[in-house]
Structure 1
Amino acid sequence: MNKVTTLPLPGLLLIQPQLYKDDRGYFFEVSRSSELKRQLGDIDFVQESQSGSYQHVLRGLHYQLNKPQAKLIRVLTGRIFDVAVDLRQHSASFGQWYGFELCSEKKQQLFIPAGFAHGFLTLSSYAEVVYKTDQYYDPVSERAIRWDDPQLAIQWPLTETPIISDKDAKAQSFASADIFLK
């Protein structure tokens, strides 16, 4: 049975699996449909993606406007600082962010509901991240907010200038970003 912890922004959840350890190593269930439905509601994950990133790579803040994605994120190798920003205008936490360190050793998963932007910074020399989404990737609906937006003031644990993509370098400010109105 997984332990589910509610995080400060409405809808964000930290899922800690039940690990079974012995002298051979460990075993745990990554996901079980019935448990996910009990913990997260009626969500069907339709796509699973994986990325590999070197230290100081910062990806995000990404979201899809017309086909918003709920995400279930897990680190397979290494450590990341994972960030979710609430873009739901009706939410009491609209415009607020939450950051959390995820690492392969703890086997935790972070659930981010639809209506949030998401990004992460690689803290280890290399990290592999896998995430499930409840909507397919839709490039027409894709949006990005600047990782260093002064209005959001995300406290990234930077030790040097992050490595970002050209797309992320051209991302919008939070003030001019498309948001979720309902």
Structure 2
Amino acid sequence: MRVETTRLDGVMRLLPTPHHDERGLFTRTFDAATAGEAGLDPAAFVQDSQSRSHQGVVRGMHGRVGGGEAKLVRVAHGAVLDVVVDARPGSPTFGQWDAHVLDDADFVVLYIPRGFLHGHQTLTPTADVCYRIDAEHDPSEDVAAHHLDPDLAIAWPAPVTTVSARDRAAGTWAELAARLTGG
């Protein structure tokens, strides 16, 4: 497993080496030594979650305030366009987004540090997304920005078929940015 940085400070891609043969494949999805070499505390991750979504579904853009959470995100089945937005006041990339295809062919794991919004769109008939999170969920810290917010202008690759009621009701990036910066 090797690590690549991305254009957003702190966001990393952990790249495993899937081994294919006549039986199928084997890949390591997490390596504590590699995580440690990249500056992550492997023991800090306290919760694993999984979502399954249908093609076109968008989940996000979600984040946490207060203590927040960092996460490792990977796809066990299918493919998604995974999107992160820098929501760290004072960051030189505050308000900018980046996107990465995560799939069950390459098994890339995306590390998302605290202070980012996160979401994804399912690109295949179904996709299972796995999250390893470093803090227990505290609903009082939940924040969100609308996935179609024109200020973010996220380029979803396909028409959005379904979002949750919570995501449909999410506020604007401008409102969230003002809250985060005290403006």
Where does 1:117-156 land on structure 2 (aligned, <5 Å)? Answer: 117-156=117-156
| Deviation for aligned residue 1:180 | 6.7
Q: Residues 126-175 of structure 1, C-alpha deviation per residue, up to 9 Å, x if partnerless? A: 000001111111111111110011111111112x3431000001101111
Instruction: Verify the 8 A CA contact 1:78 1:128 in the aligned structure 2.
Output: yes
The answer on whether the counterparts of 2:58 and 2:160 sit within 8 Å (CA) in structure 1 is: no
Partner residue in 2 for 1:18: 17
RMSD: 1.5
Partner of 1:74: 74
> After superposition, what is the alpha-carbon deviation per residue over 1:6-53, rounded to whole angstroms, capped at 9, x for unaligned?
111111111111333333333232223232122243351111100000
- Structure 1 unmatched ranges of 5 or more: none
Corresponding position: 1:47 with 2:60? no
Identity %: 37
Q: Distance in 2 between matches of 1:59 and 1:153?
A: 16
Q: 1:167 corresponds to which residue? A: 166
In the TM superposition, structure 1's runs of 4+ consecutive aligned residues that sit over 2 Å from their partners are 18-29, 32-35, 40-43, 178-181
- Structure 2, gaps ≥5 residues long: none
Q: Normalising by structure 2, what TM-score?
A: 0.92
Aligned to 1:57: 57
Q: Please say if residues 57 and 160 of structure 2, whose CA atoms lie closer than 8 Å, have aligned partners that are also in contact.
A: no
Cα pair 1:82 1:119 within 8 Å, conserved? yes
1:179 paired with 2:180, answer: yes
How many residue pairs get matched? 179
| TM-score, with structure 1 as normaliser | 0.92
Report the counterpart of residue 113 of structure 1 in structure 2.
Answer: 113
